[in-house]
Amino acid sequence: MNPLYSELQWLPRLPEEFSARLKALGNSAGPQGRELQALALHALDLNQLTKLAKAIGNARAKAESAGKTLDPLVPFKLAVLSNSTIDLIVPALVASGARHGIALEVIQPSYDQVAQEALTPDSKVNSSKPDAVLLALDYRALPLKLTLGDHEASSATVQGVIGYLQALGNGIKANAGAVCIFQTFAAPVETLFGSLDRALPGTMRNLIDGINRGLAEYVLASGDVLLDVAGLAETVGLADWHNTQLWNMAKFSFSDELVPLYADHVARTVAAIRGKSRKVLILDLDNTVWGGVIGDDGLEGIQVAQGDARGEAHLAVQRLALDLRQRGIVLAVSSKNSDEVAREPFEKHPEMLLKLEHIAVFQANWNDKATNIQAIAEELSLGLDSMVFLDDHPVERGLVRKLLPQVAVPELPEDPAYFARTLAAAGYFEAVVFASEDLKRAGFYQDNARRASLQKQVGGVDAYLASLDMTITFQPFDATGRARIVQLINKSNQYNLTTRRYTDPEVTEAENNPEVFTLQVRLADIFGDNGMISVAICRPGEAGVWEIDTWLMSCRVLGRKVEHMVLREILHHARAAGVRKLCGTYLPTDRNKLVADHYAKLGFAKVEEQVSGLTRWELLVEGVDPESAPMKVVSQGLAVANERPLL
C-alpha cells in the first residue's frame, strides 16, 4: 500500500505532545477551535482521529452550553446514508473536518436504511435538516444483473440505477432541502474476461463504469456534488481498497487502513462546499521549481531540462503549476534571492515552462518567507487561508507553519520526482463546482497587480478610478450565472455581511421567486473583465420593507466604490417597487471584520446592537443619494432596465 496515501504523507508528523495537548483541551475553559484545528493538521491514524473526534465532541458540548461556537471552525451538519458499516468512519470524518476548518456534526441513521431515510419526510436524516447528505453507497447496494454482451439490457440496468440515485436525491432535496454528495462506485477486483470486462456490455466492470459516467453527468446538471471514490480506489489500487475479510465480517466497504484517506477526501469536499478551497500557490524557486541554486550554480548550472531525471522532476512541478493556473489558481513566488537573479531563469532559460507572465506576485528578496507570504496576501487582497506554500526546505516549511498557521504547507519528500504528486494528493484546491470565470481568475489577480501599479502613477483616488474607465453591469440571478453565484456565496468570507450559505437549489428558488430581488454584478475596466464580483439578495419584510438577506463582494475590487454603486442600483429598483425602507444585518465572524462599518459608511442608521456583535441597520429609500463612482452603469434583464452614462 502506497504510504503517500495511506499515511497522508503531505501532512507533518504527529507531535510527541499530542496526547498532552488533547488532555489540556479537556481542562481548558477558553476557546478551543484553533487548537483543535492545529492538532488535526497532522497525519493522524484511525486511533488518533478517534481521540481527536472525542475531544471535538466535548469541546462542542462545552461551547454550546456557554452559547458559543468552535470558532474559527465553521459549523456543518452532514448526514451519511450507507449500505455498509460506518461506525469507524464517523469519528474520522469529524476529526478530518477540523483539519479543513469545519466543525462537522455527523448524522448517522440506522444501518442500511438508505431509501427509507431519503424518501420518508420525517426520517431521522430529513428531520435533522442537514447541510448535506453523503450517499456513501457501495456497488453491492445496487441492483446489478449481469447481461453479458447485451447492450440494450446493460443500458437499461445503468439507467435504472441512475434513476434510483436520482430518486434518492430528489427525496432528500424535497424533504431536507440539502445538497447531495454522491459517491462514485469502486469496481470489484475480480473479473470474468480479464481486460475484456471493461469493453463488454453487461459485465460488472462495464456496468459500474457506465453508472459512474451517468452519475457524473447527473451531478453536473443537478447542482449536487460528486465524491470520486472510484478514482480514489484506483489511485491506491482496487486490491488494497477492497478488504473482502472486513466485508464478510462486518460489512465494511473498504480497508480500515484507508479510513484516514477517505475521511480527508470527504472533509475536503465539505470544505469546498463551504468555500474553503485554496486559491493561491506560492512557489519557492531553488530546488523546488528548478534543481540547484541559481545564485551559486548560474543559469547553465540549474537542472530544469528534458532528458535529465532531476530536471524532469522539477519540470513536473512547473507543469502542474501551469495546469492549476489554467483552472484559475493564482501563482506567486517567494524566494530568498536578489530579484534580478531570481527572474533570470524565467526570462532566459529555454527549458523553463513557467514564465514571468504566469506569476501574479513575484517576491524575491532576503526577507523570511513568512514576511513575503504576508506581502503576497496583501497585494492579492486575499486571506492567508487562501495560500499554499511549496518549498523543498524543511526549515522554511516549519517557519511558515509556526508563524502563519493559516497557510497550507505540504511536507515534501527528499526525491523531487514526487513533489508534484504530493502536492496533488493533498487536495488543497478541491472544487465542487466549475464556472467559466474560474478559467480567468489567475488573470484577474494579475490585472489587479497592474492596477496597483497604475494607482502609484496616478495622483489621487478619484483620478485613479477615472483612469480605469470602468463599466459596471447589473443583472438578476439567471441560469447562466448560477454556478458562479453559488460559488461566490459559499467562498466569500471577508466582504460578506452575513456569510449566509446557499446551495444551488436555494439560489434557483430565489432566482425564480418574483418577490425576491436578486442582483449579480460584473465589472470591467481598461485592463480587462473582472467577471462577477458582487451578489445581493433582498427579501420582502414587513409592508414596504426590503430585508438585505445577502450582500457580498470579491475583495479584488476593494477601493473602487463598487458597494456605493450596488446600493444605488438597489435603491433604484426599491423605489420602483414601492419600497420605503431597506433593512440590513451585519453578523460578525472572525473573517468579515472588514465590513463591520459597511452600512455606516453607506449612510444607514444603526437600530440594534446585540452582545454577540450583531447589528441591524435601516435606510429610508426616498431622498437618499449615495456617493457614486466614475463608471458606466449597465442594467440588464431587471424590472427597471436602463443604461446610464459614466457618473
Do residues 286 and 217 share a domain? no
* C-alpha span between 599 and 608 (Å, rounded): 13
DSSP secondary structure letters along 511-555: HH-TTSEEEEEEEEETTEEEEEEEEEEEEE-STTEEEEEEEEE-G
Q: What is the tally of structural domains in the chain?
A: 3
3-state secondary structure 189-238: CCCCCHHHHHCCCCCHHHHHHHHHHHHHHHHHHHCCEEECHHHHHHHHCH
Given the DSSP bridges, would you call strands 102-107 and 545-553 parallel, antiparallel or unpaired?
unpaired
Do residues 485 and 565 share a domain? yes
Mean pLDDT throughout 490-513?
A: 87
Mean pLDDT throughout 535-550?
A: 94
* C-alpha span between 645 and 629 (Å, rounded): 11
pLDDT confidence of 444, banded at 50, 70, 90?
low
Q: What is the pLDDT of residue 644?
A: 45
3-state secondary structure 410-423: CCCCCCHHHHHHHH
Report which of residues 281 and 380 the model is more confident about.
281
Do residues 87 and 194 share a domain? yes
Residue 256 lies in a domain: yes
Do residues 389 and 322 share a domain? yes
User: C-alpha angle 185/90/34, rounded to 5°?
Assistant: 120
Report which of residues 491 and 71 the model is more confident about.
71
* C-alpha span between 108 and 133 (Å, rounded): 10
At which of 273, 291, 320 does a domain end?
273
CATH code for the domain in which residue 487 is found: 3.40.630.30
| Amino acid (1-letter code) at residue 548 | I
- Which residues make Cβ contacts (< 8 Å) with residue 562, sequence separation at least 6? 472, 521, 523, 533, 534, 553, 629
Residue 14 has pLDDT above 60, yes or no: yes
Residue 7 lies in a domain: no
CATH code for the domain in which residue 146 is found: 3.40.50.1110
Helix 89-99 and helix 46-65: axis angle, to 10°?
70
Residue 16 lies in a domain: no
Residue 328, H or E segment: none
Q: What is the pLDDT of residue 592?
A: 84
Residue 53 lies in a domain: no
Residue 79 lies in a domain: yes
Given the DSSP bridges, would you call strands 517-525 and 470-475 parallel, antiparallel or unpaired?
antiparallel
- Which residues make Cβ contacts (< 8 Å) with residue 563, sequence separation at least 6? 534, 553, 598, 601, 602
Percent of the chain with pLDDT over 70: 94
* C-alpha span between 187 and 591 (Å, rounded): 42
Do residues 393 and 294 share a domain? yes
At which of 426, 445, 477 does a domain end?
426
C-alpha 456 chain-centroid distance = 33
Do residues 492 and 397 share a domain? no
Do residues 296 and 247 share a domain? no
Say which residue the cell 465589472 belongs to.
523
Mean pLDDT throughout 359-364?
A: 94
For 307, the grid coordinates are 532528458
Residue 68 lies in a domain: no
Strand partners, 582: 546, 619
Query: Whose CA is closest to 563, among 589, 537, 599, 590?
Result: 599
Range of the domain at 334: 280-426
Residue 446 has pLDDT above 70, yes or no: no
* C-alpha span between 472 and 632 (Å, rounded): 6
Q: What is the pLDDT of residue 379?
A: 86
For 254, the grid coordinates are 473498504
For 633, the grid coordinates are 452603469
pLDDT, tens only, 113-143: 999 999 999 999 999 999 999 999 999 999 8
pLDDT confidence of 647, banded at 50, 70, 90?
very low
Contact 187, 204 (CB under 8 A): yes
Say which residue the cell 524557486 belongs to.
285
Do residues 239 and 287 share a domain? no
Given the DSSP bridges, would you call strands 517-525 and 528-540 parallel, antiparallel or unpaired?
antiparallel
Residue 448 has pLDDT above 80, yes or no: no
Do residues 179 and 248 share a domain? yes
At which of 226, 249, 273 does a domain end?
273
Residue 467 has pLDDT above 50, yes or no: yes
Q: What is the pLDDT of residue 440?
A: 65
Using alpha carbons only, how large is the chain's radius of gyration in Å? 26
Query: Whose CA is closest to 266, among 299, 304, 227?
Result: 227
* C-alpha span between 455 and 527 (Å, rounded): 13
Percent of the chain with pLDDT over 90: 72
Q: What is the pLDDT of residue 531?
A: 86
Question: What pTM was estimated for this model as a whole?
Answer: 0.79
What are the C-alpha distances in Å from 545 to residues 90, 539, 566, 569, 618? 45, 8, 18, 16, 10
Q: What is the pLDDT of residue 637?
A: 72
Residue 3 lies in a domain: no
Residue 219 has pLDDT above 90, yes or no: yes
Taking all residues of the chain, what is their mean pLDDT, rounded to a whole number? Answer: 91
Residue 113, H or E segment: none
Q: What is the pLDDT of residue 396?
A: 93
Residue 195 has pLDDT above 90, yes or no: yes
Q: What is the pLDDT of residue 111?
A: 86
Cβ density class 308-340: b for 16+ within 10 Å, e for less = eebbbbbbbbbebbeebbeebbbbbbbbbbeee
> Quick one: CA torsion of 563, 569, 572, 573, rounded to 10 degrees?
-120
pLDDT, tens only, 550-592: 999 887 677 788 999 999 999 999 999 999 999 999 998 877 8
Residue 293 has pLDDT above 80, yes or no: yes
Do residues 100 and 240 share a domain? yes
Do residues 200 and 343 share a domain? no
**3-state class of 291 per DSSP?**
strand
pLDDT, tens only, 299-336: 999 999 888 899 999 999 999 999 999 999 999 999 99
Residue 480 has pLDDT above 60, yes or no: yes
Q: What is the pLDDT of residue 68?
A: 84
Contact 426, 10 (CB under 8 A): yes
Residue 373 lies in a domain: yes
Given the DSSP bridges, would you call strands 605-609 and 615-620 parallel, antiparallel or unpaired?
antiparallel
Do residues 184 and 324 share a domain? no
